[in-house]
Amino acid sequence: MKIFVNLLCALGLFALALSAHAEDHQQKQSIVFGVHSKTAPLEWRNNGVDQGFNLELMDRIGQLTGKRIVIRRKSFQQLLEDVHNRDSLIDVIAVVSPITVDRTLSQSDPIYATHAKAYTLQGKSFINGWADLAGKRVAIKKGAFVDVYISGKQQNFKRVDVDLYETGFQLLIKGEVDVVIAETFVARRLLPLYPPVRSSSDPLIYGAFNFVSNYKNAAMMTQINDALRQLKLSGEYDRLVNKWFGTGREKVDLNSAQKKMLSLAIFVSLLSAIGMLLTGYISLSLRKRSKALKGELAQRKKAEQAISKLSKQFQSVLDGIPHGVTLFNQEAQCLWSNDNNNDLLSNPDFHYIDGQAFNLTQALTDALAANKSQTTDMQIGNSYWQMQLHPIIDQQVVILLEETTEQHSLRQANDEASRLASLGELSAGVAHEINNPTGIIIHSIAFINDALRDLSEASNHYQKQNPFWTIAGLAPDVAISELDLSSQSIHEGAERISRIVNDLKRYAMPSLTHEYQPICVNEVVEVSLRLTANQTKIFNVSTDLLSPSPIVMGDAQQLHQVLINLIQNACHAIRQDADCYESGEHINIKTSVEDEHICLIVSDKGAGMDQATLQRITEPFFTTRRSSGGTGLGLSVCSRIIKEHKADMQITSRLGIGTVIKIRFPLTY
């Protein structure tokens, strides 16, 4: 019996040891990932399912490292305590670290960039920097990257610690704090819930999401970093970023979206029901009104007595009036007329100025029904008229006709001048707003160029140590060269934006003067073709340049802009499904000297233009490509530049044949 008991005890101890070994083995084959965020698109729970960028990224890392990812959802403060506790089951968490401060724990390469800003109540002044926080009560989330950033730094404001950014927003509403410094992804979700709160500063702290490991799992971070780098090299990291952070595809809280959609559907249903009731009421009213009008018109069809003859003296006075005067009854019978332009009323080409056909009987009926004078503008051919209808006694109407062609032309000219003046002011304002970001691009690309020159030497040194090292799948020297070409293209594009903006300003202020210099026309063609190589690479572009090159007095950058615009228009005019796309030559650029003029000719075999389009082609903001992003400023600015160079532009075009644009400069050399 004693032997049997000892045997059972031994079997039990063996089973416990085997279970502990299995549990320890399972823990070694898994990574416990602690999450706390409820903010899309990083991580959140929808219908009980955890999802988000961090979760999907960690899941891929687990696949590459051969470990199962176990999700544990806790509060942020609990996760901070767990990751510093060696006995905790939490292995890794995702937190934001300031880009200038490292955490004491082992952390991964940066995952995704973010920043923190100041948030205040509506109506408070804008915060330009840390100095503006002096003396204010500022809510700081304990343990967050804002807390890490300011730790150990001098603080001239009163700090109020909170457990959540949402707690800070609640204190802000109550007036217990003046400012909340919050991370942007969280604040973006909270702002719709707290309408009185607004963003009141530019980014104060820049940070990046990192995976942070427990002390006991520091070696695990090496595996995570290797997997993370492998995902970046394979392009799968970029796919995840585009999926969760791509333009126009930012993830939202699905539960909130469903509630909003339900509320919207209820509102639309109520609106539809009200619309149906209103439509029924209007329909019933219209039926009653139609019945009343039919009865009234039936009564007015009775014969009326003829009016007394006008005296000869009154007749002579009316005959001497240069305007047409005609008296009608309600049956559209002419009772009297001075015979001046009376025939217009029966002319089928005589119509309202908006194009609506004119019907004399209907006009008389409407005037009598309204029983008040009416004045309308009319048109026939290129002449304009003003027609006045005056109801008088016995259901009669006097019609006065006065020609207003000259007044109409003056009014159109005045309206056009006013519109162009407004467009000029608008263009100047838009140009001013574009200049600021363009300057930032030019300044930043200069720094990138300097950095590339320094990195080139480091790249050569590292390549000697690691011959198989690549950058974005390319050999280091090829990648550095491509980066250099890309930065140059960005710089050239930014400078071109700046030049276009200056041209837009110049269009608004055409009185500016220029000091022109001798310009080689052939060189203008070659530079413009290089700048438009990306657009013209699918077309067959030929050149016929006069040698030696003609010389004109002008501004090279402005002439580049003119020719670039003409080349781009030619590319847009050529449809890839057209017959000309399969033919030999698509676009031809020619320089020549003709009739004491230097000519720059751009011809294409595109769709061509009709006469109506040709008449408005240089009008500001007129474009046939509005749906594809056309602004209508291109040829307008080009026309302005050409006039400033004392040149002229001749345009000939036929539908289905193509377009030829000839710019003629005065011969000065």
Catalytic residues: 482
Strands (E), 369-416: 374-380, 383-392, 396-403
How far from chain centre, in Å, is Cα 92? 39
Q: Strands across the sheet with 587-594, in order? A: 541-544, 587-594, 597-604, 658-666, 648-654
Looking at the DSSP assignment, which residues form a beta bridge with residue 597?
594, 666
Q: Are 174 and 121 in contact (CB under 8 A)?
A: no
Looking at the DSSP assignment, which residues form a beta bridge with residue 392?
396
Which tokens sit at 611?
Answer: 């006469």
The angle, 0 to 180 degrees and rounded to 10, between the axes of the packed helices 556-573 and 476-508 is 100
Contacts for 354 with CB less than 8 Å, ≥ 6 apart: none
Q: Are 573 and 607 in contact (CB under 8 A)?
A: yes
Q: Are 653 and 569 in contact (CB under 8 A)?
A: no
Between the alpha carbon of residue 414 and those of residues 411, 632, 642, the distances in Å are 5, 22, 25
Q: Are 35 and 73 in contact (CB under 8 A)?
A: yes
Selection from 293, 338, 292 nearest residue 315 by Cα? 338
**DSSP string covering 113-160, please?**
EEEEEEEEETTPPPB-SGGGGTT-EEEEETTSHHHHHHTTS---SEEE
Q: Which residue has the tokens 């089928």?
A: 348
Q: Are 521 and 600 in contact (CB under 8 A)?
A: yes
Selection from 574, 566, 569 nearest residue 602 by Cα? 566
Q: Are 474 and 459 in contact (CB under 8 A)?
A: no
Selection from 605, 612, 626, 617 nearest residue 651 by Cα? 617
Q: Are 381 and 349 in contact (CB under 8 A)?
A: yes
Q: Which residue has the tokens 């190589």?
A: 533
CA distance 38 to 193: 14
Q: Are 423 and 507 in contact (CB under 8 A)?
A: no
Q: Which residue has the tokens 């077309």?
A: 539
Which spans in 202-307 are helix H? Answer: 218-234, 236-245, 254-300
